[in-house]
Structure 1
């Protein structure tokens, strides 16, 4: 399943016009989940395609012509008690609002964002589109567990000239997903490409940012690596991010380091959660610049973080013909503790003492 587009039938849409947001829930073509599961590939693809079209939205506009859009990614996760809950939607709401304002769009109200995410998932559940918790997921710390991916995004009004969006749509779709990274080796490589530049949009979850990421990750995959890692644009020596995730290094000194936030690094919700979990364990966490040379000399564990990645260990990092292998290529103790705690809270196998989970059903 991974990240395949198999959207659930109920989607959310809001339009900004006359200085107000007008909301609606759209029920796209569907059958029962059992009937859809029994469909042949051609019929299933045709049904999926029919859910992915909105004939009343413009083809030519600032989103399709110039990539003027921003988005979010968050998950609704099956709970051990049989329910369903979303991980920290309030934080995604804050970031989405800031991203829109950063692109000079009207901001989307944070309470409306959370309400719409919950209600979209709930309406699909009422139609039977719901994932069930599986005890077998616990065996590999939920690394292959399923979840419902929630994708809110903006879509600009029609236009052909270079411009900003004054009356955008906000759309929310949901789709079932499994593990983001494929099983096997978790080797990474430093890419020569530049993800973000100072005074740019690196801190915004802008759609256009991910063009470079997609190219760099494709090149890394062609070279046999699972992931790519970006260095800073100015000095070309400080580690910044992975292709679509933040990154952490656990040093021999006992310090856990993640690159400090600025206008070139996305403020990840999973990133901030991991910082809190590590500090709860008495680990010294530093948000600072970390040079690639320091990584090669001092890092004993490495992992990437994000909504899709969770906390995924990186076994090695290659750079200019050299390779740093972390913890002899095995999952490190701290990495495993953080991953297991984070996933346990998300899937309800551990108590949510942080108040991070918003219940759907």
Structure 2
């Protein structure tokens, strides 16, 4: 039984017919979810309505003070004929952690999962079915108080929008080249690095632009105090395989606790591989590279799932992983994760949430 009222669009948009040209975040389905918050009343009035522009005061606090958080997740067409989600409860646990850091009222996590499920069911006809495609789901919260003054808001809007998304690796799982940033800082411990908030991404743009100018697709961030310890890659967490051991930076408060990161660690441990979450320096990787022990590197995140890293550029030194090709651990992680998500492999971890039949 539906939990939220639905107002169906009277002007449905033409759905894309070519799954090879969907891109990412450019097309949006016919409907969206909205829910309001007001101090003294709490979260209320959850509803599904036609996708449309928002009407906000130019003084809305989200525009001026950045009080906004978001999540990213996907719905998949499963081989069992069902629309499937991957660990959605983890996304909303993290959303509430971000809410706490940004002084946004906590939201009912179970209610959020139900909102996603009902919205996806309403717009399931938009779900592409080609391998690697999905519906990208973007839940977010903004402060909407029409006033200028630096303080937590009293009014918020929770929104979920959906976008049909093409395959991230349209031409195959090719390793990326990463530029190690040694000037700009994304986040520091005690800041908002562990929250999924827009300001973190705005702070990353200058370094990202510099990396592109040098022919690199992503930035590897170092810690903001000593510029010594590795943190994360762009919008992904990062892993290295050194002499048979899988290393990843520990969650120190300045790194986003990725759900794909968490899932990767759980799978690696299930396979009996040694995994260490600790501080890692570029000097350590450089020495491992010279000793022939630097075997693989990869990033993890919702969009790419697992992204092999073929090369790092650090202070003029080029570190190459597995001759610039995807490594066996990276490949197995990607195949296993996507296999679970799409239903090619059994869900032994209990991660998949079935939403509804696709037809």
Normalised by the shorter chain, which TM-score bucket?
Answer: 0.7 to 0.9
- In structure 1, what is the Cα distance between the partners aligned to 2:306 and 2:25? 21
Q: Which residue of 1 aligns with 2:165?
A: 177
Q: Which residue of 2 aligns with 1:256?
A: 246
After superposition, the CA RMSD in angstroms is 1.5
1:292-331 CA-to-partner distances (Å, cap 9, x unmatched) read: 1112232310000011121110001001111100001110
Q: Which residue of 2 aligns with 1:276?
A: 266
Q: Which residue of 2 aligns with 1:53?
A: 53
Q: Which residue of 1 aligns with 2:277?
A: 287
- In structure 2, what is the Cα distance between the partners aligned to 1:204 and 1:123? 30
Alignment coverage as a number of residue pairs? 325
Q: Which residue of 1 aligns with 2:7?
A: none
Compute the displacement of 1:255 (Å): 1.0
Q: Which residue of 2 aligns with 1:307?
A: 302
- In structure 2, what is the Cα distance between the partners aligned to 1:2 and 1:241? 24
Q: Which residue of 2 aligns with 1:150?
A: 137
Matches within 5 A, 1:79-90: 79-90=78-89
Write 1 or 2 for the structure with the bigger share of helix: 1
Write 1 or 2 for the structure with the bigger share of strand: 2
SS at match of 1:164: coil
- In structure 2, what is the Cα distance between the partners aligned to 1:129 and 1:181? 20
- In structure 2, what is the Cα distance between the partners aligned to 1:213 and 1:279? 32
Q: Does structure 2 retain, via aligned residues, the 8 Å contact 1:213–1:244?
A: no
**Alignment TM-score, normalising by the size of structure 2:** 0.87
Compute the displacement of 1:113 (Å): 1.1
SS at match of 2:238: strand
Q: Which residue of 1 aligns with 2:28?
A: 7
Q: Cα distance 1:271–1:202, how it changes in 2: closer, same or farther (>3 A)?
A: same
Q: Which residue of 1 aligns with 2:291?
A: none
Structure 2 unaligned runs (5+)?
1-21, 289-293
Compute the displacement of 1:180 (Å): 4.3
After TM superposition, the structure 1 stretch with the greater mean CA deviation from structure 2, 64-73 or 176-185, is 176-185
Q: Does 1:106 align with 2:108?
A: no
Matches within 5 A, 1:335-350: 335-350=330-345
Over 3 Å off, 4+ runs = 179-185
Q: Does structure 1 retain, via aligned residues, the 8 Å contact 2:76–2:127?
A: no
Q: Does structure 2 retain, via aligned residues, the 8 Å contact 1:179–1:308?
A: no
Q: Which residue of 1 aligns with 2:186?
A: 195
SS at match of 2:300: strand
**Alignment TM-score, normalising by the size of structure 1:** 0.86
Q: Which residue of 2 aligns with 1:21?
A: 43
Compute the displacement of 1:185 (Å): 5.5
Q: Does 1:216 align with 2:237?
A: no
